[in-house]
Structure 1
Amino acid sequence: MLDDQPIPVLPRLSWPDVWGRRLDRHGLSAAVYDRPADAVAAMCGAHAQVLSAAEVSIGLRVAGATRDDVRTALWGERSLVKTFGPRGTVHLLPARELPLWTGALGALPPARNSMPADARLAPDQIDQVVAALAEALADAELTIDELTAAVAARTGPWAADPVVPAFGSMWPRWRQAMHLAAHRGALCFGPNRGRKVTYTSPQRWLPGFQPAPAPGALADLIRRYLHAYGPATPQQFAQWLSAPRRWAAQLFDSLADELQQVDLAGTVAWVPAGDTASAAEPPYGVRLLPYFDAYTVGCHPREQLFPGPAAQRALSGGQAGNFPVLLIDGTVAGVWHHRRCGPKLAITVEPLTPLTVSERRDLEDQAERIGRVLEGRPQLTIGTVIQGGHA
Structure 2
Amino acid sequence: MTTRARATVTVSWPEANTRRLARQHLAAPAPSASASASPAEAVGAMLGAHAQVLSAAELSVGLRGDGLTRTDVRAALWAEGTGESGRTTLVKTFGPRGTVHLLPVADLSLWTGALSAVPTGPNLFSKDARMTPDQVEAVVAAVGDALQGVELTVDELSDEVVARTGPWAGDLVMPAFQTMWPRWRQVLHLAGHRGALAYAPNRGRKATYTNPGCTPMPGPAALAALVERYLYAYGPATPAHFARWLAAPKRWAAEQFASSAASGAIEEVEFADEGSAWVVAGDTDFPDEPARGVRLLPYFDAFTIASHPRERLFPGTAYERALGGGQAGNYPVLLVDGTVAGVWHQRRSGRRIAVTVEPLKPLPAPRLRDLEEQVERVAAIMEGTAELTVGTVTVGPHA
Normalised TM-score (structure 2): 0.93
Choose the corresponding residue for 1:350, options 358, 376, 383: 358
* Pairwise CA distance, 1:6: 11
Choose the corresponding residue for 2:269, options 232, 255, 262: 262
Distance between the aligned counterparts of 1:367 and 1:344, measured in 2?
12
Distance between the aligned counterparts of 1:9 and 1:170, measured in 2?
53
Residues 225-244 of structure 1: matches in 2 within 5 Å? Answer: 225-244=230-249
Is the Cα–Cα contact under 8 Å of residues 284 and 330 in structure 1 kept in the other structure? Answer: yes
1:239 aligned partner, one-letter code: R
Distance between the aligned counterparts of 2:354 and 2:320, measured in 1?
25
* Residue 93 (structure 1) aligns with: 103
* Residue 379 (structure 1) aligns with: 387
Instruction: Find out whether 1:14 has 2:22 as its counterpart.
Output: no
1:293 aligned partner, one-letter code: D
* Pairwise CA distance, 1:124: 0.8
| Residue aligned with 1:198, SS | strand
Is the Cα–Cα contact under 8 Å of residues 50 and 302 in structure 2 kept in the other structure? Answer: yes
Gaps of 5+ in 1: 204-208
* Pairwise CA distance, 1:279: 2.0
1:152-194 alpha-carbon deviations (Å, 9 max, x no partner): 1111111111111222221111111111111111000011111
* Residue 72 (structure 1) aligns with: 75
Distance between the aligned counterparts of 1:135 and 1:106, measured in 2?
18
Residues 313-324 of structure 1: matches in 2 within 5 Å? Answer: 313-324=321-332
* Pairwise CA distance, 1:215: 1.3
1:337 aligned partner, one-letter code: H
- Percent identity, aligned pairs only, is 60
Residues 356 and 376 of structure 1, relative CA distance in 2, 3 Å threshold: same
1:8-58 alpha-carbon deviations (Å, 9 max, x no partner): 352011111011001000000133433100000000000000000000000
Distance between the aligned counterparts of 1:23 and 1:347, measured in 2?
23
- Residue range with higher mean Cα deviation, 173-182 or 25-34: 25-34
| Residue aligned with 1:17, SS | helix
Choose the corresponding residue for 1:56, options 55, 59, 65: 59
* Pairwise CA distance, 1:280: 5.5
Choose the corresponding residue for 2:217, options 212, 218, 232: 212
Distance between the aligned counterparts of 2:151 and 2:72, measured in 1?
23
* Residue 186 (structure 2) aligns with: 176
Is the Cα–Cα contact under 8 Å of residues 190 and 200 in structure 1 kept in the other structure? Answer: yes
Residues 6 and 52 of structure 1, relative CA distance in 2, 3 Å threshold: closer
Residues 1-391 of structure 1: matches in 2 within 5 Å? Answer: 8-29=6-27, 30-31=30-31, 32-76=35-79, 77-203=87-213, 209-256=214-261, 257-266=264-273, 267-279=275-287, 281-390=289-398
Is the Cα–Cα contact under 8 Å of residues 24 and 279 in structure 1 kept in the other structure? Answer: no
Distance between the aligned counterparts of 1:65 and 1:270, measured in 2?
33
| Residue aligned with 2:200, SS | strand
Distance between the aligned counterparts of 2:208 and 2:309, measured in 1?
37
Distance between the aligned counterparts of 1:97 and 1:375, measured in 2?
29
Residues 320 and 9 of structure 1, relative CA distance in 2, 3 Å threshold: closer
Distance between the aligned counterparts of 2:292 and 2:393, measured in 1?
24
Is the Cα–Cα contact under 8 Å of residues 7 and 268 in structure 2 kept in the other structure? Answer: no
Distance between the aligned counterparts of 1:111 and 1:9, measured in 2?
33
* Pairwise CA distance, 1:69: 0.3
Moved over 2 A (4+): 5-10, 30-34
Gaps of 5+ in 2: 80-86
Distance between the aligned counterparts of 1:8 and 1:196, measured in 2?
55
Distance between the aligned counterparts of 2:226 and 2:42, measured in 1?
16
Distance between the aligned counterparts of 2:23 and 2:96, measured in 1?
19
Is the Cα–Cα contact under 8 Å of residues 352 and 384 in structure 2 kept in the other structure? Answer: yes
| Residue aligned with 1:34, SS | coil
Distance between the aligned counterparts of 2:373 and 2:288, measured in 1?
23
Distance between the aligned counterparts of 1:299 and 1:123, measured in 2?
35
* Pairwise CA distance, 1:333: 0.6
RMSD: 1.4
Normalised TM-score (structure 1): 0.95
* Pairwise CA distance, 1:7: 6.7
1:239-279 alpha-carbon deviations (Å, 9 max, x no partner): 10111111110111011111111111241111111111112
- Residue range with higher mean Cα deviation, 315-324 or 44-53: 315-324
1:200-255 alpha-carbon deviations (Å, 9 max, x no partner): 0001xxxxx31111111111101111111111100110110111111110111011
Is the Cα–Cα contact under 8 Å of residues 295 and 336 in structure 2 kept in the other structure? Answer: yes
Is the Cα–Cα contact under 8 Å of residues 113 and 219 in structure 2 kept in the other structure? Answer: yes
* Pairwise CA distance, 1:110: 2.4
1:142 aligned partner, one-letter code: L
Distance between the aligned counterparts of 1:60 and 1:7, measured in 2?
40
Distance between the aligned counterparts of 1:104 and 1:288, measured in 2?
31
